[in-house]
Amino acid sequence: MEGTPRRYLNEVIPKLITQDVCYVCTIGAQCEFAHDLLDEEICYRETEEPPLYLPKHDIMTTWHHEFDDGIRFAIYAVNDEVIDIKTVAILDMTGGKEAARIEAVLKNLQTA
């Protein structure tokens, strides 16, 4: 997420929430910032009157500075007691700058 303009994050975060995600792992240089924006949006929606949409389940958020570890965590360690997580989506918010790196990590995980 290095160098991702805030306006992109502001657009993606509500879409993640309305798609009923249950876990979001942010990765890279802006991971803490993106994580905090998501948590702020969740808190805002919980306190707004009338309440804004949130899934019936909690949304867990984590941040990971280490790229490989973040992807590995999202694929192998994420779990939820309420939701059966069947899909992991990776959003490259760098305009494709990290696409090759993402593919390399996924390929490495497949052969491990």
Residue 1 within a domain:
no
Range of the domain at 91: 6-111
Distance between CA atoms of residues 64 and 32, nearest Å: 8
Please tell me the total count of domains within the chain: 1
User: Length of the chain, please?
Assistant: 112
Query: Does residue 59 form part of some domain?
Result: yes
Mapped onto helix, strand or coil, the DSSP state of residue 64 is strand
Q: Does 65 map to a domain?
A: yes
Element (H, E) at 65: none
In a domain, 79, yes or no: yes
Domain assignment present for residue 20? The answer is yes
pLDDT per residue as tens digits for the range 16-38: 999 999 999 999 889 999 999 99
Residue 60 covered by a domain: yes
**For residue range 67-106, what is the model confidence (pLDDT) as tens digits?**
899 999 999 999 998 899 989 999 888 888 899 999 999 9
Considering the domain boundaries, does residue 18 fall inside one? Answer: yes
Closest C-alpha among 91, 103, 99, 86 to residue 11: 91
